[in-house]
Amino acid sequence: HETHAFRGVGLRPYAPAHLRARRIAGGDIEIGWIRRTRIDGDSWEAFEVPLGEDRELYQLRIVQGGDVVRDVLIDGPGWTYTAADQAADAVSGTIEIAVAQVSDRFGAGPQKRIPFHV
């Protein structure tokens, strides 16, 4: 007899795809990504895959030296890290940008990460 406990991994959202960042006017950093889905996402006919969650929500973290310096929840596939926020966070050199899709039933899924030189 064995007892197994499952964490509901079938409900875990996928990591976002094509995470990108670029510096724009004024020193801001524009960050964007493509949403992925677990549900009905195999059709090539739709412009965008269905959400498959109760709402669209992402957790974005700015990490420097292994420490999270900014942690925000975002309701769309993009965010601007303003020059003022960068100064407030005292970031310099290379930071890591990490984005995870959040499910109300599971929580945050795996992160997609990229380095960015500030």
pLDDT digits (tens, 9 = 90+) for 23-80: 999 999 999 999 887 665 555 566 666 566 668 899 999 999 999 999 999 999 999 9
Q: Which residues pair with 68 in a beta bridge?
A: 63
pTM: 0.84
DSSP conformation class of 54: S
The b/e string for 6-32 (b: 16+ C-beta within 10 A; e otherwise) is eeeeeebbbbbeebebeeeeeebbebb
- Nearest alpha carbon to residue 89 among 65, 57, 111, 54: 65
Q: Which residues pair with 100 in a beta bridge?
A: 59
Q: Tens digits of per-residue pLDDT, 65-90?
A: 999 999 999 999 999 999 999 999 99
Q: Tens digits of per-residue pLDDT, 1-25?
A: 787 776 667 777 889 999 999 999 9
